[in-house]
Amino acid sequence: MPQTLILGQTLDFSGNPFTQPWQDTVQHRQHGAILVDGDRIVETGDTDTLCRAHPQTPVRDYGDALITAGFVDAHMHYPQTAMIASWGKRLIDWLNDYTFPEESQFGDPGYASEIAGRTCDLALAHGTTTLTSFTTIHPTSVDAFFGAAAARNMAVVAGKTCMDRNAPDTLRDTAQTAYDDSKSLLNKWHGVGRAHYAITPRFSPTSTPEQLDTLGQLWGEYPDVLMQTHLSEQTDEIDWVRDLFPSARDYLDTYEQFGLLGPNGLYGHSIHLEPREVDRLAEIDAAVVHCPTSNTFIGSGLFDMGGLATRVRTGLATDTGGGSSFSMLRTMAAAYEVGQLRGTVLHPSQLMWLATAGSARALRLDNEIGQLNAGSAADLVVLDLASTPAIAQRHARATDVWDAVFPTIMMGDDRAVRATWVAGHCVSP
C-alpha cells in the first residue's frame, strides 16, 4: 500500500493531563501532517516539513479540520444497540424489562451478526474506532462481534458475558460452561488480527461464588488478558451485593476474594466507591471506566472524576444501550456536566484525552491505539469544528484551539465527523 500524507490541524498527547498540567501534555499543530504507511503512522509533524520530505506522496488535505486519534469506547454492550433509549426506572428494572429479553435473542447467529455489524458501523460513523463490549452468554454472540470487527479491521475488546443466577433461564450458563466457553473463545480469538479477549462476569449479583471462582481461575491461567465487569453502579445494587455476599468487606471484595482483581481489570461505572476500594484499585493499578450518559439516564449517580482520575487508570465510555448515545462527543459533554455537578471542572484537553489516550491506557492498548505516535495504528477521526450553524457561529468567536474545540464537544454529533480512518483506510464517510 502506498504512503499517504493526511493534512489538517492535529491534536495529540504526550502525557496525562490529570496528573500534570494539561499545557505540558498537549501537542497541537495548526498546520499538521500525519504520514501513514500501510496500517501504521510513520511520522507526525508540521505540513511544510513533511510535504517537503515526501514530495511524491499522495495527500489527503482536510484543511482546518481537527485530526486526532480515533475515539476509544472503553465499555459498552453491543447486544443492547437495538434497545438504546428505552424508557426505564432503576437499573434492575431496566435490565429485566429491556436488556434480558433483547439479549436472549443472541443465540441466533444471524441476529447476532446483524446487530454486531450495525454496532460497528454506528461507531465508525461517530468517529469511534475501538469498542470494548460485553456480549451475551451465547458463544455465537462473541463470534458475531469479533467477526464484524475483523471485517472492518477494528481493534476491539470483548468476551462472553457470564451469568448463572438472577437472570432468565434463557440467559444462564453454569460455572463450568462459563469457564469452558470463555477459554475456548479466548483461544479462538485473542490476538487474532486486532481482537483482544476479556474475561467477562457481568457483575457479582448474576454470578454465583462458584462461577466467579472458576473465572478467577481462568484469569490466573491467562493473566495477560483483560477482565471486565461492573462495580458500584447504583446504591440499591450495592445493597443487593451486600445481601448476596455478607462476608465481603465491600463490593470490590466480591471480585478480589475470587481472583478477579488485577492490573488488567476494567471496572465499569465505579460511582459509589468506599475509600478502601479506591485505595485498592490504585494499589493494584486497575482501571475504572466512566459512563456518564448511562449514569444520568438510569439515575445511577455522579462519578468522582476529581478523586479517581489522579490516582486510578480511567477510561470513558458510552455504555450503550444504558448510555443514551453512540457518540463519544456526547459522552465527553456528559462527563463535563457530571464534573460540574461534582465540583470538578474538566478542561477540554482532559475530555479529549479521556476519549482517546486515556481509554487506550485503561485498556492497556496505548502502545497500539489512542495516540498519533510513530508505530501506532492509523486509527483517526477528522472533526469538522463548524459542523452545524449553531456550532459554526460559536466557533467563529474562538480565541484558541480549546475555544474552538469545546463547542464541538458540547454540541457535536456524527455530523461533526468528517472522516474516520481505520488501520490506514478511510472508512467513513
Residue 321 pLDDT greater than 80, yes or no = yes
Residues 77 and 64 grouped into a single domain: no
User: Could you give the CA distance from residue 104 to residue 107 in angstroms, rounded to a whole number?
Assistant: 7
Residue 402 pLDDT greater than 90, yes or no = yes
Residues 105 and 65 grouped into a single domain: no
Q: Is residue 128 within 8 Å of residue 154, measured between CB atoms? A: no
What are the pLDDT digits (tens) for 267-299?
Answer: 999 999 999 999 999 999 999 999 999 999 989
- In this prediction, residue 254 carries a pLDDT of 98
- Counting every residue written for the chain, the total comes to 429
The pTM (predicted TM-score) of the whole model is 0.97
What are the pLDDT digits (tens) for 185-205?
Answer: 999 999 999 999 999 999 999
- In this prediction, residue 43 carries a pLDDT of 97
Residues 6+ apart with CB under 8 A from 223: 262, 264
The average pLDDT across 244-260 equals: 98
What are the pLDDT digits (tens) for 150-167?
Answer: 999 999 999 999 999 999
Residues 42 and 173 grouped into a single domain: no
Residues 19 and 145 grouped into a single domain: no
What are the pLDDT digits (tens) for 55-71?
Answer: 999 999 999 999 999 99
Residues 36 and 160 grouped into a single domain: no
Residue 14 pLDDT greater than 80, yes or no = yes
The average pLDDT across 348-363 equals: 98
Please state which of the ranges 76-85, 273-282, 334-343 shows the lowest mean pLDDT: 76-85
User: Could you give the CA distance from residue 302 to residue 421 in angstroms, rounded to a whole number?
Assistant: 33
Domain hosting 31: range is 4-70+371-428
- In this prediction, residue 147 carries a pLDDT of 98
> What is the band of 87 on the pLDDT scale with cuts at 50, 70, 90?
confident
Residues 276 and 323 grouped into a single domain: yes
Domain with residue 289: its CATH number is 3.20.20.140
Residues 350 and 402 grouped into a single domain: no
- In this prediction, residue 1 carries a pLDDT of 59
- In this prediction, residue 96 carries a pLDDT of 79
Residue 183 pLDDT greater than 70, yes or no = yes
Residues 49 and 89 grouped into a single domain: no
The average pLDDT across 323-349 equals: 97
Instruction: Report, in angstroms and rounded to the nearest whole number, the Rg of the chain calculated over CA atoms.
Output: 21
- In this prediction, residue 157 carries a pLDDT of 98
- In this prediction, residue 85 carries a pLDDT of 82
Structural domains in the chain (count)? 2
What are the pLDDT digits (tens) for 92-111?
Answer: 777 878 888 899 999 999 99
Residues 349 and 393 grouped into a single domain: no
What are the pLDDT digits (tens) for 215-231?
Answer: 999 999 999 999 999 99
Mean pLDDT of the chain, nearest integer: 96
Residues 313 and 246 grouped into a single domain: yes
The average pLDDT across 336-353 equals: 98
- Which amino acid, one-letter code, is at 226? L
From the number of C-beta atoms within 10 Å of its C-beta (0-12, 13-18, 19+), residue 243 rates as exposed
Which residue from 117, 86, 118 is spatially nearest to 99, judged by alpha carbons? 86
> What is the band of 88 on the pLDDT scale with cuts at 50, 70, 90?
confident
Residues 348 and 203 grouped into a single domain: yes
Of all residues in the chain, the percent with pLDDT exceeding 90 is: 94
Residue 125 pLDDT greater than 80, yes or no = yes
Domain with residue 23: its CATH number is 2.30.40.10
Residues 98 and 113 grouped into a single domain: yes
Which residue from 277, 280, 228 is spatially nearest to 250, judged by alpha carbons? 277
